[in-house]
Amino acid sequence: MNFPISGTKGNAQLEMNNLILVTGGAGFIGSNFVLKMIQDAGSTIVNLDKLTYAGNLRNLESVSENRRYSFVQGDIIDRDLVRSLFEKSQPSAIVHFAAESHVDRSIHGPDEFIRTNINGTFALLEEARAYWSGLSTTEREKFRFLHVSTDEVYGSLAPNDPAFTENTPYAPNSPYSASKAASDHLVRAYHHTYGLPTLTTNCSNNYGRFQFPEKLIPLMILNARDGKSLPVYGDGQNVRDWLYVEDHCDAISLVLSGGRPGETYNIGGWNEKRNLDIVKTICGIVDEMAPPIGRPRSELITFVKDRPGHDRRYAMDARKIERELGWKPKETFESGIRKTVRWYLENEGWVREVTSGSYRNWIATHYSA
């Protein structure tokens, strides 16, 4: 069918059995997923993104003219817009990335997190349910709603606790994680109450190209490159499991095609690292790859006041997705972090565009010693 939608670039011939509506596809993980599905899987993508500070269409320049890609600027909470996208594009799946996702921002301003992560997911579920209910039996069986979530819904682990599994009770500790937990519960409820064929993935900390540099790894890479202070919360002993973003996108693709409706799949990198060790590793790689600054960049590390309610440790048990779908991460942390540092050092134009005045003001406000 022809697909002229106001706000899109170009027209595309779309097929019901291979079209994916992606929300938040201009963000960090979403844009990596869109590129993968167009270039590797041959899918047709309609990308709905509000283009907040973290959305960047430059991430998708390589597919902007592709006949299998269309972009629509809009908000998932706009039900009239979402309804029109369902009617015109007739997707066989939704992959829902759109979310406010930075813990610090949720602490200082939780309103947008409630609006987007809870109310926005509810609006999307309602429109998806109405659309799905009107499909033929065959199309209803093919349809999937995949909700991308986080390990933070499970709360914090003690040093010797076992890793989070899909059966770990929820215990969110920040406005961000609470809003994602609420959206997870809504997705689950729509499967069990209405039969909507939903899938949920809960991932560990992602890193890689296109990540907005308020997050730990890109912030440290860029500050280290420029010889600036490297602010580390508290004592730097907080532990996270790190997942290379392209491995995450591979896992989402597998869950979308082979996951069992109604199920949750944990996606982790099997890479537990202390924040301080992450920063020191980045310093060593930047020392190697970037011009010298006259001293080891590890000397730039400074400890700043800890984040309120800062979870001490996350760890993901990803054996279920390995057992059921055969997924394992391809990248070790050592290989993935080198690729990531190199990408940021080699893409100055992208970095310059996203590190605007408003971004610098945010960093100065929230990472001061």
Q: How far is CA 195 from CA 22, 23, 134, 143, 199, in A?
A: 21, 22, 13, 11, 12
Q: Please report how the helices 333-346 and 216-226 are oriented relative to each other, as an axis angle in degrees rounded to 10.
A: 50
Separation CA 258–CA 266 (nearest Å): 15
Q: Which helix (H) or strand (E) holds 253?
A: helix 245-258
Q: How far is CA 156 from CA 161, 172, 236, 294, 304, in A?
A: 10, 8, 15, 39, 21
Separation CA 211–CA 56 (nearest Å): 10
Separation CA 285–CA 341 (nearest Å): 7
- Residues labelled as active-site residues: 151-152, 176
Question: Are 155 and 172 within 8 A, CB to CB?
Answer: yes
Distant-in-sequence, close-in-space partners of 342: CB < 8 Å, separation ≥ 6? 289
Question: Are 161 and 241 within 8 A, CB to CB?
Answer: no
Q: Is 57 exposed, middle or buried (0-12, 13-18, 19+ CB in 10 A)?
A: middle
Which of 341, 343, 347 has the alpha carbon at shortest distance from 58?
A: 347
Separation CA 189–CA 354 (nearest Å): 37
Q: Is 318 exposed, middle or buried (0-12, 13-18, 19+ CB in 10 A)?
A: buried
**DSSP structural state of residue 40:** T
